[in-house]
């Protein structure tokens, strides 16, 4: 009997605490804006200078904003978020008194502090250890800059100081200004004192805020697999690889594996910006998927990561939905039946003309398994992969292998297109999809080559497929294909047409529509692919993580213990 997946909904206590903390933060911001009572302010000014009161009010607003920011970490059970919220609640209690003897607001912060202390056992997710040193570096850097700016402010006004204070007095003035207190220097004009206090005090507040944000950055996990896991993964692909066209991409070096308790199935994933991002369907027999999904969800919950799945198929989406994730359609994968593919007929006219035209120009295409190529041919292909790459960044995660030419990938199929002089002008790489399928990984073409290189390579692969025992070929993935397909139909509504216009504009940057059109001309069957996530409020976080994994956004620096492949490629889809 398979172990069931854990409930994905956040425990009520954590949800409640997170909301209380965020409401208290908003309350702090409001109290910092509302003017204090005049009588209390006069009484306070006998003990606290005006600059200190102003700094306390600003600090209260900053504390409130940080409490609102911390709410998401508390909801995920992050221990460090609880620690910071506890410290900020205690600090807010003092600041409410320092900014205007606001006893009512101080009581609210004190009650929040007691509540946090009483529920400490609910926040156990570990934090990123390295973030402490990064936070300390940020804090010291900004406070040091504020101290230097304070000295510069004094130096600019040295001719308008009362008396002749020495360097030691300058240092005391700038240092005390960092905590909102007046120093020993007196100015001929009040504006000078205020300028120094604002410069140094604002630097401290900025340093504290940024340091806390860095401190609360989600932890990560260095991706990697053991040699034994690689062998087990290859065995899973050999026995069950025909179930998902994206299965072979689990071999990427930046993906880790979490196994079901019986070791029969696994989930391939990578932790990106606090999101445990899985890709494709789980690996192995469907009967063992719940165990692997449950283990992956428990691991994400234990570390406070948001679980999400990018590009799973219908079967995988159903399994993840049963485990508690929400599912939305992301787009469609183009799958061509190689046994039924024909180049003749009016529907294939455009492709046929492109292939005939480039054939007359002397271009030829060879289709072969990687293991069949000589060492010289592989080196030539590897150089072409680098030379024909569009841009300096390799894109891909869910639907790219991100390597080329490794001995373990001998079953990959290559299409090599040469011009009339024998120069390599285009290259496709397909990874195995079980015993009878291919899945497009890499697409490269020389931009100076004649039009039709890609069409020639795709057609030659489809022609050669039956002789290689291949009956299905997966081509590019089309994001939100249904929007393009339905926008031209009779009766398309205003919402659909608006979405179509938005995607057409986005296509100028990401080539969304061109990929759909490039797939559609081969008249494939469209297989939907899905995005899975816990709740709607997690979608922005998941979207940023997915775009980072696919290299559309810069990835945070990290150390990696994985071995770098000899030649990198990827991003074919």
* pLDDT reported for residue 560: 38
* pLDDT reported for residue 490: 41
Least confident stretch, 54-58, 91-95, 242-246, 482-486: 482-486
Using alpha carbons only, what angle is made at residue 549 by residues 384 and 311, rounded to the nearest 5 degrees? 95
- At 529, phi and psi to the nearest 5? -125, 150
- Reported as a single tens digit per residue, the pLDDT across 433-448 is 999 999 999 999 998 8
* pLDDT reported for residue 347: 86
Q: How far apart are CA 211 and CA 315, in angstroms?
A: 44
- Residue of 26, 36, 146 whose CA lies nearest to 92: 26
Q: How far apart are CA 226 and CA 232, in angstroms?
A: 10
Sign of CA dihedral 74, 77, 80, 85: positive
- Reported as a single tens digit per residue, the pLDDT across 96-113 is 888 878 888 899 999 999
Between 42 and 272, the more confident residue is 272
Give yes or no for a contact between 257 and 233, defined as CB atoms under 8 angstroms apart: yes
Three-state secondary-structure class, residue 270:
strand
Could you say which DSSP state residue 4 is in? P
Three-state secondary-structure class, residue 447:
coil
The residues, ordered by sequence, that sit 6+ positions from 499 with a Cβ below 8 Å of its Cβ are 480, 483, 487
Q: What percent of the chain has pLDDT over 90?
A: 44
Burial 380-395 (b: 16+ CB within 10 A, else e): bbbebbeebbeeeeeb
Between 53 and 151, the more confident residue is 151
- Reported as a single tens digit per residue, the pLDDT across 111-151 is 999 999 988 888 888 776 667 788 788 888 888 888 888 88
What value does the mean pLDDT take over residues 386-413?
85
- At 414, phi and psi to the nearest 5? -115, 140
- Reported as a single tens digit per residue, the pLDDT across 334-347 is 999 999 999 988 88
What percent of the residues of the chain are helix, what percent strand, and what percent coil, each to the nearest 5?
55, 15, 30
- Residue of 530, 161, 509 whose CA lies nearest to 330: 530
Give yes or no for a contact between 59 and 150, defined as CB atoms under 8 angstroms apart: no
* Cα 259–chain centre separation: 23
pTM over 0.85: no
* pLDDT reported for residue 397: 86
* pLDDT reported for residue 164: 79
């Amino acid at each position: 009997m398979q172990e069931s997946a854990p409930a994905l909904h956040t425990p009520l206590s954590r949800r409640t605490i997170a909301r209380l903390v965020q409401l208290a933060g908003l309350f702090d911001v409001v109290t910092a804006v509302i003017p204090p009572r005049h009588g209390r302010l006069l009484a306070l000014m006998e003990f606290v200078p005006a600059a200190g009161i102003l700094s306390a009010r600003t600090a209260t607003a900053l504390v409130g904003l940080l409490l609102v920011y911390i709410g998401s970490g508390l909801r995920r059970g992050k221990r460090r978020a609880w620690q910071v919220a506890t410290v900020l609640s205690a600090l807010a209690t003092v600041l409410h008194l320092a900014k205007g003897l606001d006893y009512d607001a101080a009581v609210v912060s004190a009650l929040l502090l007691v509540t946090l202390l009483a529920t400490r056992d609910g926040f156990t997710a570990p934090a990123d250890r390295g973030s402490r040193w990064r936070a300390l570096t940020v804090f010291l850097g900004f406070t040091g800059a504020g101290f230097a700016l304070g000295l510069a402010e004094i130096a600019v006004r040295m001719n308008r100081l009362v008396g002749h204070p020495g360097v030691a007095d300058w240092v005391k003035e700038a240092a005390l200004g960092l905590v909102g207190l007046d120093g020993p220097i007196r100015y001929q004009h009040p504006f000078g004192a205020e300028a120094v206090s604002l410069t140094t005090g604002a630097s401290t507040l900025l340093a504290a805020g940024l340091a806390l944000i860095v401190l609360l950055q989600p932890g990560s996990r260095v991706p990697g697999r053991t040699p034994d896991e690689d062998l087990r993964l290859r065995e899973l692909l050999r026995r069950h690889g025909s179930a998902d066209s994206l299965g072979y991409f689990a071999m990427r070096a930046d993906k880790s594996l979490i196994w079901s308790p019986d070791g029969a199935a696994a989930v391939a994933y990578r932790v990106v910006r606090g999101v445990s991002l899985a890709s494709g369907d789980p690996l192995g027999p469907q009967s063992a998927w719940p165990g692997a999904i449950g283990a992956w969800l428990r691991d994400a919950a234990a570390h406070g990561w948001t679980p999400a799945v990018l590009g799973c198929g219908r079967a995988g989406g159903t399994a993840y939905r049963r485990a508690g994730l929400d599912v939305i359609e992301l787009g469609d994968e183009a799958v061509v039946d190689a046994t039924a593919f024909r180049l003749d007929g009016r529907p294939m006219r455009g492709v046929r003309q492109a292939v005939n035209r480039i054939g007359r120009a002397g271009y030829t295409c060879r289709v072969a398994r990687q293991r069949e190529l000589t060492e010289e041919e592989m080196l030539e292909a590897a150089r072409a992969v680098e030379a024909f790459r569009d841009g300096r960044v390799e894109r891909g995660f869910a639907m790219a292998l991100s390597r080329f030419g490794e001995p373990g990938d001998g079953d990959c199929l290559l299409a090599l297109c040469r011009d009339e002089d024998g120069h390599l002008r285009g290259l496709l790489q397909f990874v195995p999809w079980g015993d009878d399928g291919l899945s497009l990984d890499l697409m490269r073409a020389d931009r100076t080559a004649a039009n039709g290189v890609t069409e020639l390579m795709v057609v030659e692969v489809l022609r050669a497929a039956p002789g290689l025992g291949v009956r299905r070929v997966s081509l590019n993935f089309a994001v939100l294909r249904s929007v393009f397909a339905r926008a031209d139909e009779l009766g398309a509504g205003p919402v659909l047409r608006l979405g179509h216009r938005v995607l057409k504009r986005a296509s100028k940057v990401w080539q969304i529509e061109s990929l759909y059109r490039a797939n559609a001309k081969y008249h494939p069957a469209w297989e939907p692919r899905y995005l899975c996530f816990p709740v709607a409020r997690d979608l922005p976080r998941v979207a940023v993580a997915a775009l980072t994994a696919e290299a559309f956004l810069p990835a945070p620096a990290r150390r990696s213990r994985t071995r770098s492949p000899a030649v990198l490629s990827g991003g074919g889809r």
